Amino acid sequence: MKMNQRTAAAGALLLLLTACAGAGPSGPKWSADERKAAAAAIDPRIAEASRSFGLKLHQQMSDAGKGENVVISPASVSAALALAYTGSSGETAKEIAAALGWDGMSENELNEANRRMTELLTASGGGVKLTIANSVWTAAHTVFHKPYLQTVKDYYQAEVRSADFASPKTTDVINSWVSKRTEGKIRKLLEERLPADSAAVLLNAVYFNASWTDPFKKGDTQDDNFTLPDGAVKKVPMMRQTRTYAYSEHEAWQAVKLPYGDGRMNMLLVLPKETSSLDELNRQLWSDCLPCRQTFEPVRVDLRLPKFKVEYTAQLKDALTGIGMSLAFDPGRADFRKMADVHPLYISGVTHKTYLDVNEEGTEAAAATGAMMAGSAPPSKPVDMVVNRPFFFAIEDSHTGSWLFLGTITNP
């Protein structure tokens, strides 16, 4: 048995609608060619929207928690908001679409693109396990329109359940649903009992687990220095290996892509150079995300990367309001008439939790390692990339460029 590096990540989002008066199993196994063909058939605007929305949300959360680790799943947040968007109308729908980068797409185009994207991402195989699950929990006293419920079932594979929000057991049932679909990584999405007058809860859970294409050797991991945002230095377990990676460099940063499994997904790492800072990198990412557009070339890299485990919790109401989505939270102006004939019906809270673990748990090594190492010429001197200070990361689908998770690690 070979010990190899794995990345495990989970994200969950609860969207609470108030009225005042799975993991679903992995999909069918697809070959690399089938995944490539499926990706080509997906509206490219949906992947661009996930990156743009993720960065806007990252900016809001970074500004709110200066110097802290930030780990969010734009895939999870946008999926839960898609369940709300499908039931929205008028200016409320326009605001949600603009905030998430969906303006310019019809509802049918969006639903179909999301359906295809989920089918692609959750297809099994390739050394990656990814599950995405949605559910809609409706109060017994609220009658939801059948076309709305049918749409979330057909396009988002959402489970639809009736719930008694006045019962304290409902909170436990919802937490159990999330825990099961994140492989126990997020056990308690809800810390408190739901309000008895809740009309609905819209849930999304994402679970990701994958092996590096080129595993790190446990014996090469050594404690090394990591500089925190305030200049303090701490010792962290630092993994190390020299491989040929997709690499890009700018005067202010270095970037590398570490592939998972057969390469269907990767982790993008962007490290500000010592002459720059994470704040400067963030501003550049938020303005035009140059690393998203930069050409990556195969380069030998001597990479040193800390192991890290992060659990992150955030209330997103203020962040979503900050990017222009305010009407959905306004009891007097929110318009969710396509969901139910209840007024007022509005979003009263958005809870987001994520878990990210880059560790050295033992599993059987994935095949097809070192595929980019072929050739008889002597290796060139590798480029040094020492991730010993705060950095940005994203876990992305290599075919579509859609971002599942992203964030900044300031204290591994």
For residue 56, list its beta bridge partners: none
Predicted confidence (pLDDT) per residue in 128-156, tens digit: 888 888 999 888 878 899 999 999 999 99
Same domain for 164 and 272?
no
Which of 80-94, 134-148, 359-373, 376-390 is least confident?
A: 359-373
Q: 45: alpha, beta or left, given left = phi > 0 and alpha = psi -120 to 50?
A: alpha
Judge if 80 and 171 occupy the same domain: yes
Helix axes 90-100, 44-64, angle to 10 degrees: 90
Flag whether pLDDT at 10 surpasses 70.
no
pTM of the model: 0.88
> What is the Cα gyration radius of the chain?
21
pLDDT digits (tens, 9 = 90+) for 238-278: 999 999 999 999 999 999 999 988 888 899 999 999 999 99
317 shares a domain with 398: no
User: What is the per-residue pLDDT for 291?
Assistant: 79
**pLDDT for the residue 12:** 55
Q: Are residues 282 and 260 in the same domain?
A: yes
pLDDT at residue 8, rounded to an integer: 66
Q: What is the pLDDT of residues 167-184, one digit of tens each?
A: 889 989 998 998 888 888
CATH number at residue 100: 3.30.497.10
**Residue 366 forms part of a structural domain:** no
Let me know if residue 83 belongs to a domain. yes
Task: Give me the pLDDT at residue 19, please.
Answer: 43
Looking at the structure, tell me whether residues 222 and 289 fall in a common domain. yes
Residue 30 structure tokens:
């697809």
Q: Residues 161, 247: one domain?
A: no
Contact 319, 308 (CB under 8 A): no
Do 230 and 191 lie in one domain? The reply is no
Q: What is the rounded CA–CA span in Å between residue 406 and residue 93?
A: 26
Structure tokens at 310: 């992060």
What residues make up the domain containing 60? Answer: 7-210+309-357
Separation CA 109–CA 6 (nearest Å): 35
Structure tokens at 73: 């799943």
Q: Distances in Å between the alpha carbon of 23 and those of 13, 26, 98, 187, 207?
A: 13, 8, 29, 13, 7
Whether residue 363 is contained in a domain is answered as no
Same structural domain, 228 and 247: yes
Q: Domain check: are 237 and 345 in the same one?
A: no
pLDDT tens figures, 342-368: 888 888 888 888 888 886 542 222 111
Q: How many alpha carbons lie under 13 Å from residue 45 in its C-beta half-sphere? A: 15
Whole-number percent of the chain with pLDDT over 70: 87
Asked, for residue 371, whether it belongs to a domain, the answer is no
Write down the pLDDT at residue 245: 93
**What CATH number has the domain bearing residue 391?**
2.30.39.10
Indicate if 55 and 136 belong to the same structural domain: yes
Task: Please write the tens of the pLDDT for every residue from 291-309.
Answer: 777 889 999 999 999 998 8
Say yes or no to pLDDT of 376 above 50: no
Q: Are 325 and 299 members of one domain?
A: no
Q: Is residue 368 part of a domain?
A: no
In total, how many domains does the chain have?
2
**Residue type, position 179, single letter:** S
In a shared domain, residues 246 and 333 = no
Each residue's pLDDT tens digit, 209-240: 888 888 898 899 999 999 999 999 999 999 99
